[in-house]
Structure 1
Amino acid sequence: MLSPVFLAHGSPFTLFEESEFTRFLKRFGQENRPKAIVIFSAHFESETTTIAATDDVHEMVYDYYGFPEPFYQVQYPARGSKIVASIVEERLKQNHIPVQMKYRGLDHGVFPIMMHAYPEADIPIVPVSVNPFLPAREQIAIGEALKGLEEEGILVIGSGFVSHNLREFDRDKDATPRAWALEFRNWIREKVMTRDIESLSRYDVLAPHAAMAVPRAEHFVPLLIALGSGSASRDVQVLFDTIEHGTGTTLSFQF
């Protein structure tokens, strides 16, 4: 089943880790083999929804700082697909969503996931931007415009984190989860599982500790886009769910 997913993308350290999370990504790739991937990355921001169209091997965007040299030598030579990019563009236009084509390479919201899930780099990838300042309902509408792409063998991925506050991350990956992070994670999980669009559209005022968990929305809105792109006739599935570094949830869904 190639139904849309929201995946936690991990930190740059995920590139070289062997963990339960990376083993999950490997299993996911083995179980889901699309013809192409359309991925909304938290690290690709634009006011207008932007599609990175190319048929060439993607460039690498090392959008992190202060890591050892091997982190800047990683290569993931997947190609893009102008045909798939055009399909996405047409779907968005038909639904009156402003869209533009402008190339950008693969950032760390994309290649750490892909390197573990699809190490052969043999699946075309089309990165699409997010605008963290759009209202939640508009984020969901972007996803809704892409409903049914799985019928064409195209997997839609939202890549981010349900909670993402670097100032609250503990250095210890196995640190005891903070109470506020658990409460926020549990609220989001419940509302997503029941497809409570009304509550999720107001998560910033309804969810406990929302301002702490989501100080800026760029890592959260890929969840709303992926949710919108799924079918309401299918049950939502939790794919993975842990809390690392005390506050960072790996909660991932299939819609």
Structure 2
Amino acid sequence: MVPSLFLAHGSPMLAIETNEYVDFLANLGKRLKPTAIVIFTAHWESEVLTISSTDDAYETIYDFYGFPDQLYAIKYPAKGSTRIASKLAEMFEKQGISVKKNSTRGLDHGSWTLLSRMYPDVYIPVIQLSVNPYLPASEQHKIGTAIQGLGKEDILVIGSGVTVHNLRIIKWRQTTPEPWAVEFDDWLIDVIQNRDLGSLFHYEELAPHARRAVPRAEHFVPLLIAMGSGEPQAKAKVIHRSYDLGTLSYLCFEF
């Protein structure tokens, strides 16, 4: 059995940097040995929930600009699984959630930067899913609950995003976090560990500095999905917390 995870994917530089968070990801990959990985990425948005469905190796998508050439040379040719994609589609449809399948899209950096550090040998099938940032928080959580139980089959569900993600106000070369970013994450940890879904679903109104921390929801909703997909009785755990560039959170949860 494996838990569900919310992991911060932060900067694409994670794929080539050496730091505390990269070490954490490597150790996490050694601890968890899933038979397949289902990953919701903030960098694939669609109105209808879309599931990658292929048995072939994915292309590596470089959905960023202005980074070192070394980063664009990285390949992560994980294979997909049409069998698991069909299983996911059936689970969603049973809960009244419409889905589509996509057989051509590659892995974006919300997926491969994390996976390249966790599972560098590229031996685990990956099924990538889109997010719709315009759905209410309660609906995001429902998407996760529709696939509860995958962990019992050793299928690892990952929500890949960032809790505090405002690139307009990052502090270049600042290694200590801004107090407001810490306050937002503190609030988030409290309501999640207490399973206060009423407050969590209204984080935009209730959480301190919510508009500054989450100016747009695409990087936040993978957290809600990951939480929903975890075991209902499991206690949420903070498994990593650090910050970069003053305002970029690397807060990670296990559900």
Question: Which TM-score bucket, shorter chain as reference?
Answer: over 0.9
CA distance in 2, matches of 1:243, 1:20: 10
Q: How does 1:187-226 map to 2 (within 5 A)?
A: 187-226=187-226
CA distance in 2, matches of 1:151, 1:56: 26
Q: What is residue 7 of structure 2 aligned with on the other side?
A: 7
Q: What is residue 67 of structure 2 aligned with on the other side?
A: 67
CA distance in 2, matches of 1:87, 1:194: 31
Contact 1:10 1:112 in 2 (8 A): no
Structure 1: unaligned runs, 5 residues or longer: none
CA distance in 2, matches of 1:185, 1:23: 22
Q: How does 1:29-48 map to 2 (within 5 A)?
A: 29-48=29-48
Q: Which moved more, 1:157-166 or 1:179-188?
A: 179-188
Contact 1:143 1:226 in 2 (8 A): yes
Q: What is residue 144 of structure 2 aligned with on the other side?
A: 143
CA distance in 1, matches of 2:211, 2:252: 20
Alpha-carbon deviation of 1:173? 4.9
Q: How does 1:114-129 map to 2 (within 5 A)?
A: 114-129=115-130
Q: TM-score scaled by structure 2?
A: 0.98
The residue type equivalent to 1:120 in the other structure is D
Q: Which moved more, 1:64-73 or 1:188-197?
A: 64-73
CA distance in 1, matches of 2:94, 2:153: 18
**What secondary structure is seen at the aligned counterpart in 1 of 2:67?**
coil
CA RMSD across the alignment: 0.9
Structure 2: unaligned runs, 5 residues or longer: none
Detail structure 1 runs of 4+ shifted over 2 Å in the superposition: none
Superimposed CA distance per residue, residues 175-213 of structure 1 (whole angstroms, 9 cap, x where no aligned partner): x21121111111011111111111110001110110000
Alpha-carbon deviation of 1:68? 2.3
CA distance in 2, matches of 1:55, 1:183: 43
The number of aligned residues is 254
Q: Percent sequence identity over matched residues?
A: 48
CA distance in 2, matches of 1:170, 1:207: 22
Contact 2:9 2:113 in 1 (8 A): yes
CA distance in 2, matches of 1:124, 1:164: 29
Q: Which moved more, 1:219-228 or 1:238-247?
A: 238-247
The residue type equivalent to 1:20 in the other structure is E
